[in-house]
Amino acid sequence: MTATKRIVDFAEAKACPEQFVLAINDTLNVLTGKWKLPILASLSYGIKRFTEIQRNIPKITPRMLSKELKELELNGMVKRIVYDATPVLVEYEMTESAKDLSAVIDSMLHWGLKHRKTIMQNEC
Amino acid sequence: MTATKRIVDFAEAKACPEQFVLAINDTLNVLTGKWKLPILASLSYGIKRFTEIQRNIPKITPRMLSKELKELELNGMVKRIVYDATPVLVEYEMTESAKDLSAVIDSMLHWGLKHRKTIMQNEC
DNA sequence: TATAGCACTATACTTTTGTATAGCAAGCAT
DNA sequence: ATGCTTGCTATACAAAAGTATAGTGCTATA
């Protein structure tokens, strides 16, 4: 039933350019920019603290990490968990939605690899 | 055989962070920005001329359309065909690679719709 | 002759995105 | 007391992406 419903919605969305564009832009927005994918990759290995993510991504500045984490949280990709120990302890965790992205990323990886081959054949 | 090879490459890429990141960034690069998706959508209905695409996307300036078409051509997404009639006649067509993107876009649409529902449940 | 369409290019500007550098409040270790 | 770590914020700046507006060379049509 849920599955059927989802398929119908999918077909509906494909028929309706507005919903179509909205849904695709939602997906693009959580992936684009220089740091979102590295941050999600870091969190894909488990719950992490601010400085741990920073150490995983050596070139990111705290400003960017803070900004991106806020945006990811706002978009339901990351949960921010604050423990009021002293000093304050903050942990970041991927949401289920974020984990579901792996299907999209796999399809992107698949296309990217195939496209690279096509390009190489035509150029070299 | 080709299928088997492709699967092996896919597994290899997932194991190798460098190739992984390159392939995914290739995919992101042909999709991001304000106009690439609209342009590809327009061309998905068939071969088009410059002004026809412009009419399909009313808010795009000729500067942006020209710039994006060049980039899409460079990235093997679009074929530019020049007929030397007078005045010159130019047509734009999607490549096979670009058509293959529909699998990626479908997965993005699917995730986007599901994510929207999740967000709405949690907020409203 | 004037006007309009085609396929763009040129110049200047604004907005968005990302970088560089410094600092802060709290607490623990020496 | 001094420096170190944690989890950030503030300010200023540079680079990339996108907008606005005008104009070019060509030709067909009124």
Q: Quick: pLDDT tens for B22-61.
A: 899 999 999 999 999 999 999 999 999 999 999 999 999 9
For residue A118, CA distances in Å to A1, A85, B44, B74 come to 41, 55, 20, 13
Q: How confident is the model at residue B1 (pLDDT cuts 50, 70, 90)?
A: very low
**What are A45-61's pLDDT values in tens digits?**
999 999 999 999 999 99
Closest CA to A42 of A98, A84, A90, A96: A98
Q: What residues are paired with A92 via a beta bridge?
A: A48, A80
Kindly tell me if the per-residue pLDDT of A121 is higher than 90: no
Using an 8 Å CB-CB cutoff, list residues of chain B that contact chain A.
Answer: 6, 9-10, 13-14, 19-28, 31-32, 37, 76, 96-97, 100-101, 103-105, 107-116, 118-119, 122
pLDDT at A1: 46
* Residue B24 to residue A109, Cβ atoms within 8 A: yes
Q: How far apart are CA A108 and CA A85, in angstroms?
A: 41
Strands in A48-49's sheet, in edge-to-edge order, are A48-49, A89-94, A78-83
Q: What pLDDT, on a 0 to 100 scale, did the predictor assign at position A75?
A: 97
**pLDDT given for residue B121 in this prediction:** 86
Sequence letter at residue B44: S
Token pair for residue A114? 């195939």
Please tell me the predicted confidence (pLDDT) of residue A124.
67
| Residue A85 zone, left/alpha/beta (φ > 0; ψ -120 to 50; rest) | beta
Q: In chain B, where does DSSP find H-type helix?
A: 2-15, 17-29, 36-43, 50-56, 62-74, 96-123
Q: For the segment B58-101, what is each residue's pLDDT rounded down to a tens digit?
A: 999 999 999 999 999 999 999 999 998 888 999 999 999 999 99
Q: Please give the pLDDT value at position B18.
A: 75
Write out the residues of chain A at the interface with chain B, using a CB-CB cutoff of 8 A. Answer: 6, 9-10, 13-14, 19-28, 31-32, 37, 76, 96-97, 100-101, 103-105, 107-116, 118-119, 122
Mean pLDDT of A17-29: 88
Q: Is the CB of A66 under 7 A from strand C?
A: no
Across-strand partners of A81? Answer: A91
Residues whose beta carbon sits under 7 Å from strand D: A 49-52, 61-63, 66, 80, 87-90; B 33-35, 59-64, 86-87
Give whole-number Cα distances, B48 to B38, B39, B55, B99, in Å: 13, 10, 11, 15
Strand, helix or coil at B31? Answer: coil
Average pLDDT over residues A73-102: 94
Distance of C1' in D27 from CA in B89, Å: 12
pLDDT of residue A86: 76
